[in-house]
Amino acid sequence: QVQLVESGGGLVQAGASLRLSCTAAGRSFGDYVMAWFRQAPGKDREFVASSSWASTGTYYKNPSVKARFTISRDNAKNTVYLQMNDLRPEDTAVYYCAADYKGSYTLMSDYEYQYWGQGTQVTVSS
């Protein structure tokens, strides 16, 4: 069992940066693929980025996200981060942290992930 709590969202102007954090309570954080998803109003939840459970790799939704966002994790702190630079209005969404026990970090479907945080709102104004 893993409990996830996100923080770091807020209201920013286009071009600004934010760093989201997700802290996990539970054992063996290092055994979980950690991912960020987001859901904009009226849209389905979508994959943003993931970090492998062995800290051997990261994966991103597409090159545009990879160019602006960076996922990282600190297993000693049971925390995964999403550094978001050059934010755009289309990045506005609720951002969710998710965990998958020893899964494949290249899977982008939300049903692959067993544990979810409550979400943190990111709003980017133009």
> How far apart are the C-alpha atoms of 102 and 126, rounded to whole Å?
39
> How far apart are the C-alpha atoms of 33 and 54, rounded to whole Å?
8
Tokens of 74: 């600190």
Residue 26 is predicted with a pLDDT of 83
Residue 40 is predicted with a pLDDT of 97
Do the beta carbons of residue 13 and residue 26 sit within 8 Å? Answer: no
Residue 11 is predicted with a pLDDT of 98
Radius of gyration for the alpha carbons in the chain, expressed in angstroms and rounded: 13
Phi and psi at 25, nearest 5°, equal: -110, 125
Low-confidence residues in the chain, pLDDT < 70: none
